Structure 1
Amino acid sequence: MEDGAFRKAELISKYLSGDLSPGEQEEFRQWLDADAANGKLLAELENEEQLDRDLRFLSDVNSKAAWENVGARINNPVPEPRLPVYLGYWKYAAAVLIFGLLSYAVFDAAYKPKGSVVVTEAKQAVGNDVLPGGDKATLTLADGSIVSLEDMENGTVREENGIRVSKKDGQIVYELVKQGNNTAVTYNTITTPVGGQYSIVLPDGSRVWLNSASSLHFPTAFTGQNRDVELTGEGYFEVAKNEKMPFMVQAGKTNVSVLGTHFNLMAYANEGVTKTTLLEGSVKVGNGSSSRTIVPGEQALTGENVQVRTVDTEEAVAWKNGYFQFENEDLRTIMRQLKRWYNVDVDNEQQIPDKHFTAVISRNTNLAQVLRMLEMSGELEFKIEGNRITIQENK
Structure 2
Amino acid sequence: LLIYVLSSSMSKSKITLSHAARKAIDLEAKYGAMNYAPLPVVLARGKGVHVWDVDDNQYLDMLSAYSAVNQGHCHPRLLKVLKEQSERLTLTSRAFHNDMLGRYEEFMSKKFGYNRILPMNTGVEACDTAVKLARRWAYDVKGVPENTARVVFANNNFWGRSLAAISASNDPSSRNGFGPFMPGFDLIKYNDVAALKKVVKNPEVAAFMVEPIQGEAGVVVPDPGYLQEVSQICKDNNVLFITDEVQTGLGRTGELLCHYDEGVRPDIVVLGKALSGGIMPVSAVLADDEIMLTVKPGEHGSTYGGNPLADALAMEAITVLEEEDMIQNSAIMGELFRKGLKSIDSPYIECVRGKGLFTAMVITPRKSRTAYDLCLSLMKKGLLAKQTQTHIIRFAPPLVINHEQIEHAVDLIGQALKEY
Higher share in helix: 2
Q: Which has the larger radius of gyration?
A: 1
If the length of structure 2 is used for normalisation, what is the TM-score?
0.27
Higher share in strand: 1
Higher relative contact order (CA 8 A, sep 6+): 2
